[in-house]
Copies of this chain bind each other. A is one copy, B any other.
């Protein structure tokens, strides 16, 4: 026998489920060619008996993270984490006061940090991401995400994610896709928040990594993070990472920069229905506007190739009703909000 309140809850759940079935799955996407291309592709590959039907097992979709699922300005969020870590560790490293790029970090000299280039940034990452166990590192990242604030929006970094892309991830999963992140960012950094922020579990996160070493410490097994690059999951490394981790070819790829070019090639230049999409940052008001000349997330060669290959290009300003989830509070977008 069920209590009346339980019956009411059950009825409520049925009503909500029925409403959800008819609700727009992409309420933050404006009508237009971009939205039509996405929906058209999903409907074609899921139409049982259709010429372009793809079995659920093969519905693999890969997403870049920085600039594709969350913002990457005014600097990669993981670099902000590395900088905060270097500051926190500085008392144990008096030599950093006179060693670049650490000195620049401690003095807030972002120009020198940027000028230190890939090598300098790698040094910051190694100093801040290695030397602890994997469990300790995850706890450090979790603490940072809980306390750090994005400088422009004064909100946690995990709120600076793109609402339309969250809807797209969910829409694909509802249609039997397995959604993966394939990022140049750190794999173990991403795994701390990917499930909660994006609904992507740790085992579907591919990223750059440093080596780990197995040790038994007083009978307790640990994996220690070493200051040694294992894999750089960027540019031509992305197809390599996709093959290594997934072992099958995606049918849809989503990126925003030249770092995603080879991933889109690998995904789309093959037989069968294929979908490639680039997020073009065109909205200086709500987010940022940058492309061919940006040092962060440069979109140049891939933008040219998109026209040739028929990849879909999101014009953020035109295609997105809102950019961030927190805008829902301030807008009157109808539908399933």
Contact = CB atoms under 8 A, between A and B. Distances in A.
A203 interface: yes
8 nearest A-B pairs in the assembled complex, by CB-CB distance: A202-B247, A214-B236, A214-B239, A191-B247, A203-B246, A221-B266, A221-B265, A202-B248
A247 B213 contact: no
A71 interface: no
Contacts of A262: 214, 221
B269 A221 contact: yes
Which range holds the interface residue count of chain A?
35 or more
Interface string A193-208: 0000000011101000
Interface string A260-283: 001001100110000000000000
A188 B221 contact: no
Contacts of A134: 243
A203 B245 contact: yes
A235 B182 CA distance: 28
A111 interface: no
A223 interface: yes
A321 to B, nearest CB: 32
A57 interface: yes
A214 B202 contact: no
A181 to B, nearest CB: 11
A219 interface: yes
A16 interface: no
Interface of A: 57, 134, 178, 187-188, 191, 201-203, 205, 209, 211-214, 216, 219-221, 223, 230, 236-237, 239-240, 243-248, 262, 265-266, 269-270
Contacts of A245: 203, 245
B221 A240 contact: no
B216 A240 contact: no
A270 to B, nearest CB: 8
Q: In this complex, which of A191, A220, A244 has the most chain B Cβ atoms within 10 angstroms of its Cβ?
A: A244
Contact of A223 (B187, B216, B243, B269): B243
Contact of A212 (B178, B191, B211, B240): B240
B201 A213 contact: no
A240 B213 contact: yes
A105 to B, nearest CB: 28
A188 B247 contact: yes
A225 to B, nearest CB: 10
Given A214-B236, A214-B266, A240-B214, A187 B247 contact: yes
